[in-house]
Structure formats: structure tokens, C-alpha cells
Amino acid sequence: MAILVSQYLGFMDTIQSGRRALVVGLGISGMATAVRLRQIGWDPVLIEKAPGRRSGGYFVILFGAGRASAERLGILDKMPDRAAPGGAHFEIDRLGNRRRAVGFGDGQGGPWRMLRGDVEQALFDALPKDVEIRYSTVPTRIAQDADGADVTLLNTADEMSTTERFDLVVGADGLRSTVRALAFGPPERYLHRLDHTIAAFQLSKQVSGLDPEDTVSMVEPGRAMWVFSFAGRLPTVLLTHRTNDVDAEIRRTPAEGFRAAFGPEPTGRILGQVLTELENADQVAFDSVEQVRMDRWHNGRVVLVGDSAWCVTLYSGMGVSAGLAGAELLGTMLQRHSNDIDRALTEWERRLRPFIKYHQRNGMSQRVFFNPTNWREVIQRKMLTRGVRYPVVGPLVRRLRLEGARMKELDIAAATNCVQAM
């Protein structure tokens, strides 16, 4: 009898929470949100503006904050740690001289190194087969009332529009979010440019002269190159430079922009090979570096997650981890406050915002590590990468690293007493 009552109550909970959500964006935050919403009995509908699921991807780091959420989402064992065993990080110059140094993700905390596509594939495989995914589809209008939102959806392949009713709209459509523009206003209110551009891509062959397991960086004032190694995969590259005219840079091809940024000096062998690979790469993630800063991430029945809401920038290294943690916590709060969506969203944001604010600030300071813009910042960077050996600044450097590692490992759901019941 007790078992039957338990099953009946579980069934009633599912019926009570069996609501319909539109999730815009088939990236990490969008798929993680859909997986978690299905776990709590919601019916998510995923839409994606691209005609199909994108593959590949660049270097990403998964810290403990993301691994904890990935485990509860049921995908952690599907994502490989591709860190090359025995690999080291070297700083190099154009002549090929090298010095052992601290690399991004080194040190305490045990971050996992992987490709963005590894996380996306694990999440895609975790989506139940009956979750509806519509490609070539974008929202063009959102009209809300107290009980839900009517969303007009455009199929860009056949130019057909429909209007459908949802209990919740989740904008997970990235830095230049359409959902954010429709529900919160023009992008210039929220996008804050850092006057840098980035290009990330996978090499077609190993860089000559580099051991396959080693990672290298070449950092000069206002421009930098990073080559990240993987176990069983070809390396990926991150190029970044400072510019006074972001719009002009974006109008160029990536190869044109970065050849100009690293010129007119001779490139040297390694940088020269990387720039040639950039010219011939099939897929390049190329964009300006910006943060999204908002006073609130939800408005009525519309909520933003991931880069749409808080883009911490690639320099932070926490984009994937924050996207997974934010999506998982969102579902947990909707489950906890199943009869009051506004309270669920308010409580979700209250718990998550201090975590995100820290990593946004950290992303700004990490920019100096990735791409110092002048010689003063170059010296500051050297203190971070080499100062741990110095008796005066060493304790301060170690303390800063420990604080950063602690925040990157923080399980935000557990820290706020919001771990989901499994």
C-alpha cells in the first residue's frame, strides 16, 4: 500500500510540474537546461537557429563547479578528460626559445581539459529521444501575461511562422541573444566590450618542434598565441589581441586580422605555422571579447542562462562550468517552488549571482594572464606565472591561486543547500 501511495504521489508531482518550456539555443546551457527540466517533469522544446547541430569546438576547461552539476545531470562519465599525461606548459618567443611556466588550468583543483564538442555531445546524448528539437527556428516575438508567454517562432528554412504558448521561455542563445533583445531590450544596454578579439580553432596537424603532450604560449604586449594539447586529439589554438576598433576587426577575415596584429615582425616558425593553419581552417570561432552585465536575469516568464545572461568571457575559463551549474540549479529551484515560478526564478538568481559576479571579476583579471596589453601588464603576468618561487611575492601569489581554485571548485548547489533529490 505504501508503495502504491508513493507511486501515486510521484505521478501527481509529475502532473503538477508537467509544464511546457521553450529553450532557445542548442548549446551547452540550452541542452543542460532541457535535460534538467525533463528530470523534474517539464516538457522542454528546443529551438536552434542553425540548420543542424554544430560539431567540433575549441579548448575548454571543466572545473569542479561544472563537474558536480554534470554528475547530477547524468553526463559526467560521458565526458573524457583529454589532458595529455606528463604534459608541461612552456612560454616561447618567436625565435623558439622556451621557458617552463604555469599554464591556464594548472595547479590545484584538478581541472579537466576537453573540447567543447565533448560536453555538447554528452548533453545531446542525454536528451530523451522524445524531446522536440527544431532547427532553423528563431523567436521573433514574446508576449507575456501572468500565466505564461506566447512566442512567435519563425522557421527560416520555409519562412513559416507559428505562435505557441509556453509556461517558461529560456534564453540560452549566447552572447548576442535574441531572447534577451526581445524581453529585456537592446543589446547595447548589456554588452560591455573589452576591446579584444579572439580566434579559436583546431589544428590539422601537430606543430613541428613541439611535443604532442605540451602546451605553449607566446605572449607579447597586446597579442598572444596559445596552443593547447590533448590526449588522442590534435591541438587547438587560441589567438587573441587588443584592438581600438572592434567593428573593423570583425569585418576582416580572422587570418587577415591576426596577421596584421602579429606583424610586421617576422613570425618565426611556430607562429608562422599557426597563422597558415588559421588561413586554411574549416571552422574558426572568431569574435570580439565582451561581457554581459545585467541587474536581473529574469523578466516575468522569461529567464536567461549561460552567456545570454552573464558571459564571463573565455578568459575566465568558467563558461562551461557556469553554464552547467546555472542550468542545473534553475531546474532544482523550479522543482522546489513548483507552484510559484516567479519565486523560483528569484531564488535561483539570488543564490547564483554571487558566484557569477566573482567569475566575471576573475575574467577581467585573467585577461592580463591571457593577453597583457602593455609592458607593465607583461611584468605583472610574469609575477603571476613565476612569482610563486620568490620569497616576497610568493605567498601572495599562492594565496590568490588558492582562492581562485576554491571558487572554481565550488559546488554552487551544495553551497546553497540546493542539491537536487535523485
Q: Is residue 5 assigned to a domain?
A: no
Structural domain of 270:
17-415
**Domains: count for the chain:** 1
Sheet arrangement for strand 98-100:
98-100, 89-92, 215-220, 223-230, 233-242, 191-202, 285-292
Q: Per residue of the chain (422 residues), what is the pLDDT tens digit? A: 333 333 333 433 444 457 999 999 999 999 999 999 999 999 999 999 999 998 767 889 899 999 999 999 999 999 999 888 877 888 899 998 998 876 655 544 468 889 999 999 999 999 999 999 999 999 999 999 999 999 999 999 999 999 999 999 999 999 999 999 999 999 999 999 999 999 999 999 998 888 888 899 999 999 999 999 988 889 999 999 999 999 999 999 999 999 999 999 999 999 999 999 999 998 899 999 999 999 999 999 999 999 999 999 888 889 999 999 999 999 999 999 999 999 999 999 999 999 999 999 888 877 887 888 887 887 777 776 665 555 544 555 455 555 666 778 878 778 777 766 44
- Here the CATH number for the domain that contains residue 353 is 3.50.50.60
Grid coordinates representing 49 are: 537557429
Q: Is residue 8 assigned to a domain?
A: no
416-421: long-range contacts, CB 8 A cutoff, minimum separation 24: 416/329, 416/351, 418/329, 418/332, 418/333, 418/336, 418/351, 419/72, 419/332, 420/39, 420/72, 420/328, 420/331, 420/332, 420/335
Whether the CB-CB separation of 305 and 33 falls below 8 Å is answered with yes
For 79, residues 6+ apart whose C-beta sits below 8 A from its C-beta are 62, 70, 112, 114, 118, 119, 122
Q: Is residue 3 assigned to a domain?
A: no
The pLDDT of residue 386: 60
Locate cell 543589446: which residue? 187
Q: Is residue 230 assigned to a domain?
A: yes
Q: How far is CA 338 from each of CA 15, 28, 106, 365, rounded to the nearest angstrom?
A: 11, 24, 41, 39
The pLDDT of residue 262: 95
Grid coordinates representing 40 are: 523534474
Q: Is residue 349 assigned to a domain?
A: yes
For residues 388 and 407, give the distance between their C-alpha atoms in angstroms, rounded to a whole number: 20
The pLDDT of residue 323: 97
Q: Is residue 121 assigned to a domain?
A: yes
**Dmax (CA) of the chain:** 80
Q: Is residue 72 assigned to a domain?
A: yes
Q: Is residue 10 assigned to a domain?
A: no
